[in-house]
Amino acid sequence: MAPPSSYGPSEGGHGRSDASGFSRYYEVIREHWLLIVVCTIIAVIAAAVYVSVAPKSYTATSELLANPAQADDTDLFSLPVLHTSGDPTQDILTAAALVTTPQVADSVIAKLGLHTSAGALLANVQSIPIGQSNLVGVSAEASTASQARAIANAFANQVIVVRTAALHAAIMAQLPSLQNSVNQLPPADRNGPGSLGEELTTLKQLLAANDPTLSVVAAAELPTSPSSPKTKLSLVAGLFGGLLLGIGAAFAFSALDPRIRREDQVRELLDGVPVLARIPQVGRRKTPGPLIPNDLSLPALEAYRTLRTSLATRASGKPQAYLLTGCAPSEGKTTSAISLAVALAQGGGRVILIEADLRRPRIASSLGLKPEIGTEQVLSGESTLRDALMPIWFDSTPMHVLPARGAGAGLADRLSFAVAQHLIAAAKEQADFVVIDSPPLTAVIDALPLAQLADEILLVVRAGHSRLTKLAQLAEILNNQGAYPTGVVMVGGTAQLGAYSYGDYLMPERPSGSGGGDSNSTRSGDGRESRRGRDRIRQT
């Protein structure tokens, strides 16, 4: 059998995925959109709850003007006022630092009669330069709007009070000695520009005024809304936080969940193996077990016809044996084997459907057959293939089935390489197409000899159910035996399945009361009523 590289994209597949990283991210987000939406909604609700229950606080801001004394101002040179440093930025930072001192905080506490400490009060007050100006914003945060305004205004005013008190104390310390010096001068020399009398007069004027380097230019106004929590900001933060959390959870779920959800995952894992058919899921059904074509929707039937066309084109008129296997039960393997066999027969080919799953055979019960001779008798040599084949019709289309009579692990041991070779050779002599329903080779390797001899191996992969690790294991098992997968049948969607089901993933979309096969029975050629009849299936 040729390795999968010989079946490139031109043969009906897409080859190796060339999807960009962005498209992969998009696929993950698209697959887990509900998880992202749920996380976003929860985060927004949490933000709304926080806004409604969080304590509200208000912020008010007053403004101070800093006018540092220049270096050539001899009147203020020796006094404790704000002096210029030559760097305006540094000057305004110094002015801002003068506001939030313990002395100013103590003065505010005394002024407003607050019951708190200076440190606790300063924790809710900030003095920050405003832009590139000489203005300092004094912001206070409190539990009420009026208190926030009162504290902001009190800090702006009390810093001037504290600084003025320090200025006046320094002037009072200088006045006695300066007054004595003036008194000792002749009256004619006491006054005039640059005289001690003029300096004395300036100090007395400063003693009657506030600190000339700081002044309040804007009192704080009453806040109209809380500054915390910020309703709009909190909701927006919840929205974006929920989106980020949801997207992160989606990628984490995608990384931790090993199930196959996209075709590109299969194409990347099975490099060069094309996806030959995409079987849509159209519903669920209560009864577990494989489905027959009569149960399938028109899109599903068309997908199997597409698979038939791809395989028939490859066959080039030579008899072909197709083995269908999968990673685990409940992936649609038996349903796909039956539907492919019927589609090939409807295309005009002679078809034999062989049941090689001897541990959990389902074909006989699905088709309503009661075989007297089964696969196990052919494998043991008790019967020939020709004698064991059961002809059936789907509508007016004939085909032959080799079902298994019963389940048993001991029967599977009879399937040796030589027996498998004889079985496939005999089947090819009597049919154009041989479809073999194999058990999942990752669970049991009973049908591995058939896989080594089949012309093509089709892997049935079910989106949302098959696991990447199992698919990789299956590919490794086949490759180690020189049996290369040549195509993938991608079954879409998930369904609730019975413990012994290999199929059950499609439901027919029919008007109520039309053929489900429950009320119409089919009789075998010897007159016995079959267990599970269909009005469109006939057996002779």
Would residue 514 count as lying in a domain? no
> 381-421 pLDDT, tens per residue?
889 999 999 999 888 889 999 998 876 656 656 678 888 89
> 513-529 pLDDT, tens per residue?
333 333 333 333 333 33
Please identify, among 195, 218, 241, the residue that sits at the C-terminal boundary of a domain.
Answer: 218
90 and 169: one domain?
yes
Contact 286, 496 (CB under 8 A): no
180 and 302: one domain?
no
Contact 504, 290 (CB under 8 A): yes
More confident residue, 499 or 208: 208
Report the Cα–Cα distance between both ends of the chain, in Å, rounded.
Answer: 36
What pLDDT does residue 444 have? 75
Length of the chain: 540
CA distance 255 to 249: 10
Would residue 471 count as lying in a domain? yes
What CATH code is carried by the domain that includes residue 413?
A: 3.40.50.300
What pLDDT does residue 6 have? 42
Would residue 131 count as lying in a domain? yes
Please identify, among 172, 196, 218, the residue that sits at the C-terminal boundary of a domain.
Answer: 218
Global pTM reads 0.54
214 and 281: one domain?
no
Q: What is the DSSP string of 59-72?
A: EEEEEEEE-PBPTT
Would residue 236 count as lying in a domain? no
DSSP 285: -
> Both tokens of residue 34?
């509900």
365 and 437: one domain?
yes
Interaxial angle between packed helices 196-207 and 145-183, expressed in degrees from 0 to 180 and rounded to the nearest 10: 160
324 and 403: one domain?
yes
Contact 368, 531 (CB under 8 A): yes
Tell me whether strands 58-66 and 135-142 are parallel, antiparallel or unpaired: antiparallel
CA–CA distances in Å: residue 83 to residues 74, 75, 145, 206: 12, 12, 35, 16
Res. 284 pLDDT band, cuts 50 70 90: low
For a pLDDT cut of 70, what percent of the chain falls above it? 84
Q: How many CB atoms lie within 10 A of CB 122?
A: 18
CA distance 142 to 123: 11
Locate the DSSP E strands across 327-370.
351-355
Contact 481, 450 (CB under 8 A): no
What pLDDT does residue 356 have? 86
Q: Give the sheet arrangement for strand 135-142, strand by strand.
A: 125-129, 135-142, 58-66, 214-218
Q: What's the CA angle centered on 341, arms 340 and 342, to 5 degrees?
A: 90
Nearest residue to 404 via CA among 420, 422, 421, 390: 390
Would residue 130 count as lying in a domain? yes
Would residue 302 count as lying in a domain? yes
Res. 365 pLDDT band, cuts 50 70 90: confident
Would residue 187 count as lying in a domain? yes
Q: Is 191 exposed, middle or buried (0-12, 13-18, 19+ CB in 10 A)?
A: middle
What pLDDT does residue 136 have? 96
457 and 327: one domain?
yes
Domain containing 100: what range?
58-218
Q: What is the DSSP string of 144-213?
A: SHHHHHHHHHHHHHHHHHHHHHHHHHHHHHHHHHHHHHHHTS-GGGSSSTTSHHHHHHHHHHHHTS--TT
CA distance 246 to 43: 10
279 and 193: one domain?
no
Residue 267, helix vs strand vs coil: helix
CA distance 453 to 476: 17
Please identify, among 218, 235, 250, the residue that sits at the C-terminal boundary of a domain.
Answer: 218
Q: How many CB atoms lie within 10 A of CB 215?
A: 14
Q: 123 pLDDT exceeds 90?
A: yes
Tell me the residue type at 5: S
Summary mean pLDDT of the chain = 82
197 and 67: one domain?
yes
- Domain tally, the chain: 2
> Both tokens of residue 92?
């305004």
Nearest residue to 492 via CA among 288, 311, 292, 275: 275
> 164-212 pLDDT, tens per residue?
999 999 989 988 888 888 888 888 778 878 788 888 888 888 888 999 9
Would residue 386 count as lying in a domain? yes
